[in-house]
Chain A
């Protein structure tokens, strides 16, 4: 086993860890006193910490809501396409046979499972169509033509 090479960064890290561990062990009053002794603007710094944490939460929530919006739009798009298919072909199975399994533009590996299946449920076809829409292998023009 080789011994880890000593570095000043490690030493400094250990010193810092020791200081942090000590401060973690202080009670609120002692820590407030230490904080005020080290930093001039102790109260502002505490407000700043809380504000950083809260802003991060807000930003993350915005990101998630944007992602939900984009999922809703994508679901609406696939719902519209499924409705169009049912209107034009009567059911999804006919569309699968006519326009997907015989479509040379759709990569064979995506539909391989369905070619060899004895029976396929409507729901499985729905998932396949949604996947093809999501991958961009199928769009509204394919249904019209």
Chain B
């Protein structure tokens, strides 16, 4: 955003959205930052700051006039930055899980990715081990690993919504308490 007047107007729009954030919005952002950062061991404060900076300077375009909430937008931006952080693809804008066939990863990025994969493997395996006697959480873990929807997980695990909600609560409480904030600033 080269024109300073346009840039300032954009910053004012983002500032207004920040001023209007409710307690729930702030809780959602903290929860998302901590969980997304925890997957790769980056610092959640750094992640939130980086996502906000990119939104403010226009590297990530938040369409202020449409229906994407600022909170959901920042959560998506944090996921995208996490993807960069674990593949070391600086400024890549691909969404989480998106394949980038045109990008040739450097040996360094392959190394970082391998380290993060090792860390993720340890966490996922520990989750499966801890919940081995909890059929409902195991069904969620298996379903998430396969990338299926919550509705499908509920169907396969024979859970109603309330059972699913309680099970996922057990999962994220354990995950957050046992695999807390990372400390790595990339």
Contacts and interface: CB of A to CB of B under 8 A. Distances in A.
Interface residues of B, number: 64
Interface string B23-37: 110111111111110
Given A13-B39, A14-B147, A15-B144, A7 B173 contact: no
Interface string A32-63: 10110111000001101110111111011101
A52 B99 contact: no
Contacts of B94: none
B127 interface: yes
Interface string A69-98: 001000000000000000000000000000
Given A9-B39, A68-B4, A60 B57 contact: yes
Nearest to A67: B4
Nearest to A26: B24
Contacts, number: 154
A12 interface: yes
Nearest to A69: B4
B120 A7 contact: yes
Given A7-B120, A8-B120, A57-B56, A32 B27 contact: yes
A36 to B, nearest CB: 10
Interface of B: 4, 7-8, 11, 14-15, 18, 21-24, 26-36, 38-40, 45, 48-49, 52-53, 56-57, 71-72, 75, 79, 82, 86, 96-97, 99, 113, 116-117, 120-121, 123-124, 127, 140-141, 144-145, 147, 150, 165, 168-169, 171-173, 175-177
